Amino acid sequence: MSMTATPSGVPEQGVSEVGVQGGVSGVPGQRVSAPDDDVPRYAPQWLQLREPADAAARAPELLDPLRIRLANRPGRAGDLVIHDLGCGTGSMGRWLAPRLDGAQHWILHDRDPYLLHFATVGAPQAAADGSRVTVTTQRGDIGRLTADALTGASLVTASALLDVLTREEIDRLAAACAGAGVPALLTLSVVGRVEFTPADPLDAEFAEAFNAHQRRGELLGPDAITAACEAFDRHGATVRVHPSPWRLGADEADLTAEWLRGWVGAAVEERPALAARAESYLQSRLAACAAGELRVQVHHSDVLALPRPTGGAA
């Protein structure tokens, strides 16, 4: 599977938005060709466009319990070793590294070498207390992540990823973190709710179709948060969940317009019968967006899972 998710609800590293196969937490049109291999790619421009909204949405309320856990980890004299799964252009590191004290080494995982390049170039340089931050990259698929692969890790993190995983992959991720005693901070997973102001009678129908698109194949889409909480709980972790909605207004008009195109496109792909009404609906929404009159909340949740520590944690 791809480690790049996107829109919220449309793919980055998930557009957490039409789907990894061509939509939001994948947004259609954000995927670009990969002439040299079969790796799915997402335009860095989309990931850069969504980054400020992602940063504003992530739940800072989960950071204090995470800091306490990291401060009391076994072997805490060494650098924090943080695995960023499906890193995309590295937005998670740019948000989190400056919010944690202590020297950090980030291992950036993604299948796409093009995105790994962007993530490396834009990597953070310093922690909250000015300590150094270093990065290395690892190209590959986390679909078969194991506890052994997390030996020496202090933290596993990801952004907009859970909703483009299967139940089996989420179970494997929870088992790997629990086996290594490594906490996981997993942000920006869509939960299937979008609120528009002003509302339109068609909003609910397009939202339902979009959610169905995210559940294509065995992907969990908006069911991923529940599945992840259950999986980590089964493995003995303490799990905290906090809402992390995108709040899009006049200042985010460019992002809103791009997200809308992907969101509606995914809905139509899932339910072609919507096509006859989609064009007028989309144009009306885009006009309101351009006029600064549209407000959208795309609901997500962040999860912090704290497994029982083991001697293998860094």
Residue 46 lies in a domain: yes
Residue 288 lies in a domain: no
Give the Cα separation of 173 and 114 in Å (integer).
Answer: 25
Residues whose CB is less than 8 angstroms from the CB of residue 272 and which lie 6 or more positions away in sequence, other chains included: none
The percent of residues in the chain predicted with pLDDT above 70, rounded, is 84
Residue 65 lies in a domain: yes
Q: For residues 163-188, give the mean pLDDT.
A: 96
Q: For residues 245-253, give the mean pLDDT.
A: 97
Helix (H) or strand (E) run with residue 193 in it: strand 184-197
Q: Residue 150: which domain range? A: 31-194+217-247+298-306
Is the C-alpha dihedral spanning 209, 213, 217, 223 positive or negative? negative
Mean confidence (pLDDT) of the chain: 87
> Side chain identity at 311, as an amino acid letter?
G
Q: For residues 263-281, give the mean pLDDT.
A: 97
Please give the pLDDT value at position 18: 25
Please give the pLDDT value at position 76: 65
Please give the pLDDT value at position 74: 76
Q: What angle do CA 276, 280, 285 make, to 5 degrees?
A: 135
Number of domains in the chain: 1
CATH number of domain containing 65: 3.40.50.150
Residue 279 lies in a domain: no
SS3 95: helix
pLDDT tens string 74-128: 766 689 999 999 999 999 999 999 999 999 999 999 999 999 999 999 999 999 9
Residue 212 lies in a domain: no
Give the Cα separation of 99 and 122 in Å (integer).
Answer: 17
pLDDT tens string 116-155: 999 999 999 999 999 999 999 998 777 778 999 999 999 9
Peptide bond before residue 272 is cis, with ω within 30 degrees of 0: no
Residue 1 lies in a domain: no
Token representation of residue 143:
């679909």
Token representation of residue 160:
């907009």
Helix axes 44-57, 113-121, angle to 10 degrees: 50
Residues whose CB is less than 8 angstroms from the CB of residue 41 and which lie 6 or more positions away in sequence, other chains included: 4, 31, 32, 33, 34, 112, 114, 115
Helix (H) or strand (E) run with residue 299 in it: strand 295-306
CA dihedral 216, 218, 221, 222 (to 10 degrees): 110
Task: Give the DSSP letter string of 73-86.
Answer: STTTTS-EEEEEET
Q: Confidence class of residue 311 from pLDDT cuts 50, 70 and 90? A: low
Residue 8 lies in a domain: no
pTM for the whole structure: 0.87
Residue 10 has pLDDT above 70, yes or no: no
In this predicted structure, which of 147-151, 224-228, 236-240, 263-267 has the lowest mean pLDDT?
Answer: 147-151
Q: For residues 234-259, give the mean pLDDT.
A: 97
If phi > 0 it is left, if psi is from -120 to 50 it is alpha, else beta; for residue 19 that is left
Q: Confidence class of residue 252 from pLDDT cuts 50, 70 and 90? A: very high
Nearest to 257 by CA among 297, 293, 288, 286: 286
Please give the pLDDT value at position 1: 37
Please give the pLDDT value at position 44: 78
Residue 291 lies in a domain: no
Q: How far is CA 250 from CA 83, 247, 253, 276, in A?
A: 35, 10, 5, 28
